[in-house]
Structure 1
Amino acid sequence: MDYAFVKHMHMGMAYLSITFFIFRSILSVTESALLQNKVIKILPHIIDTLLILLAGHLMMTIQQYPFADAWLTAKLIGLIAYIIVGTIAIKRGKTAIIRLWASVAAVAIFAYILGVAKSHDVMSWLALA
């Protein structure tokens, strides 16, 4: 597949992923029954799987890998943190306030990852200043 196409698909999946995360976070914090909807539960997993598969394809295409390239290591560590904090925001947080703060933290981590992706630098958005 064409690099530009795969890159833009990856970017699109990333934006869809954060959009669905924010939506699900709102449902979680407000304790909405809609959070139990089958489509709302399954669709983010499909989007995130495509996001990760496309990331793997991009890494192989540009021949840059985590633990060899600092910016990709930062993205991987950020992704792990985002997943952990995201699970607290959506389902593991015991109170609405915990889920709210976890949601804010997860969005901040996502913003860091996005900055790393755009700058190819662990300093994220600061590298672009």
Structure 2
Amino acid sequence: MESYTAVKHLHVTAAYLSLIFFVLRAFWSVNENSVLKARWVKIAPHVIDTALLAFGVALAVMLNFWPLPGWLTAKIVALIVYIVLGTVAIKRGATPASRALFAVAAVAVFAYILGAATQHSALSWLAAA
């Protein structure tokens, strides 16, 4: 079980790094900061998110999650929504205001994902009530 705990902690750490770096890049995008064009800024999210996904898959395998429980399926669907919103927030938004709006929406979806993961429910934080 020690390996499970280590992988879980690595997954959670990668999730928080992903969120922090997303918020930073969204801030730069809204402020039209040229640092977004830096090579390391373009590469880092892919490294972090690949680690996040790899640790998530490792956890699912370790816990023998097949078929996927409903909360995990909801989390994966929400992840796709988060990615789409994040792309608009950082790259595709026409104006700084629209990028800010999409960034806030993406963070809200991230909060849902966190709730679904911690509550083990597709109701996310509502399941805690």
Same fold by TM-score, threshold 0.5 exceeded? Answer: yes
Gaps of 5+ in 1: none
Structure 2 CA distance for aligned equivalents of residues 34 and 69 of structure 1: 40
Structure 2 CA distance for aligned equivalents of residues 41 and 114 of structure 1: 25
Which residue does 1:18 correspond to in 2? 19
Matched to 1:43, the amino acid is A
CA RMSD across the alignment: 1.1
Residue-by-residue CA offset, 1:63-101 (whole Å, 9 max, x unaligned): 114x63100110100000000000000001111111000
In the alignment, does 2:47 pair up with 1:46?
yes
Q: TM-score, normalised by structure 2?
A: 0.96
Aligned residues: 128
Which residue does 1:2 correspond to in 2? 3
Calculate percent identity across the aligned residue pairs: 48
Structure 1 CA distance for aligned equivalents of residues 17 and 82 of structure 2: 15
Matched to 1:99, the amino acid is R
Gaps of 5+ in 2: none
In the alignment, does 2:92 pair up with 1:102?
no
Q: TM-score, normalised by structure 1?
A: 0.96
Deviation beyond 4 Å, 4+ runs, structure 1: none
67-76 or 42-51: which moved more? 67-76
Which residue does 1:127 correspond to in 2? 127
Report the 3-state secondary structure (helix = DSSP H, G, I; strand = E; otherwise coil) of the residue aligned with 1:2: helix
